[in-house]
Structure 1
Amino acid sequence: MKLVIIPTYNEKDNISELLGLVYQYVPDSHVLVVDDGSPDGTGDLIETLMASEYQGRLFILKRSGKLGLGTAYIAGFKWALEREYEFIFEMDADFSHNPKYLPEFLTAITDCDVVLGSRYVVGGGVTNWSLLRRFISLGGSLYSRTILSLPFHDLTGGFKCFRRKVLETINLDDVKSNGYSFQIEMTYRAFLLGFTIKEVPIVFEERAEGQSKMSSSIFREAIWMVLKLRAAQASMKAAQIKPVKP
């Protein structure tokens, strides 16, 4: 079984079309929307869709407020592990992550444990970004790769697929990041545990509607969190509760 987790905050204008594309490319998937109390009624729209054309395939976790990207995904991961999902995706709600790549992720994960949608391998890229945004993104990945000694090219992207055993093995309660550094931390933890990780090229498309969630506080968190992750490497390994399953 496949689950696509999509965090939302004020994505009412995007979510219906996005869901249609997800089900078009992976018809047998389920979708979990984790909504942080969107004032625009995103959560209410999801509940309407759950009762109509997507009954039994669409689910929602409604949270009390804007609690952060990392905690949204952790809540979604725990929800997935309480059920029988084998492949768990994470993706944005704003079309920056094109659902057309979902089948490619499923093909790639047949011989690995984690798939990273990568903008910085051959075939990947970004559209409609300023030079400053490109510099920040590339610099963030290079900084993380260097400090954490990781071989991957895109560490800050949020389009991923995990095998169930990865999320069962990582101590989710010990994950501390809540902004975009959450993506770095999850990949780092999986790598330390010996899981196989593959990058698949994607083209990241800057959102056409709404407002980007990037902020200076998120950027600062990422800088300091990478240093903390490197300093805590030994204790992170020891803190894992379950061994890697064959």
Structure 2
Amino acid sequence: MDFSFSANTFRDMFHNTVVEYLNDAAADDQDENSPHNLLAAMDQAIDVMARADADMAVKKDMSAESMGMLEEKDISKIGQYTLDLLEAMVAYVQNKTGEQNRDLIRLSVPVSLWVARHGGKLSQIDMPVNSLAEYANEVIEPHMLADLAAVIKEVIDACDDEIRRDVEQTNMMRPWRILNLNYGIISTRSHQPELIELAYDALIKNLPQDARQFFKEGLQQMDIIGYPDEVREVVERYNNMWGSESSLH
């Protein structure tokens, strides 16, 4: 599964998804959230992201200073701006149809990966978290689940300090919690012990209050689903380390 940002692919997908709404909307230069203006703004954002990709491609041969490479804060701002444009278009379509457009929302994943791979930070993860959860429900092959888990790890690693502070712990559906729990679940389903350990260590660090219940329920799933012995060994080890008190899988 390749969720990498490709300017041409991303542009085509965005255009193809919104084209039907352009015909129904009058061009309104005064409304920045009109589909025509959102499309124009997205094209500009894609161009900026493509230039950053081109710069990165030759980074090995030139210093960042001599090239004028974008700084972390610039990457973060570009990524957030692009996600804001996506969200605005999702809202426009939902207002017209009464439904959220899944294809638009899923474009948040390559944008988030672009930010992560350019060293930026993510300050808003609702859309990519929802999209990654949907992908997880559609995939059953362990090797594809391993790829998906690797993507989730990149998103987690790119989350900014505000998200990591996890101040809304009373909200059980907060994106940070869902993201980390899904990382653990999807990694378990990949059947790859090393990947599972990475995810479990991240869960302990990022959601210590959920770790005990997670490992307890994970162990129960070993018999229900019939996981391989090497997976069971990892789950048993973490369950033993984190106790047996207090459904996630």
After TM superposition, the score normalised by the length of structure 1 is 0.30
Higher strand proportion: 1
- Calculate the TM-score normalised by the size of structure 2: 0.30
Bigger Rg, structure 1 or 2 = 2
RCO higher in structure (CA 8 A, sep ≥6): 1
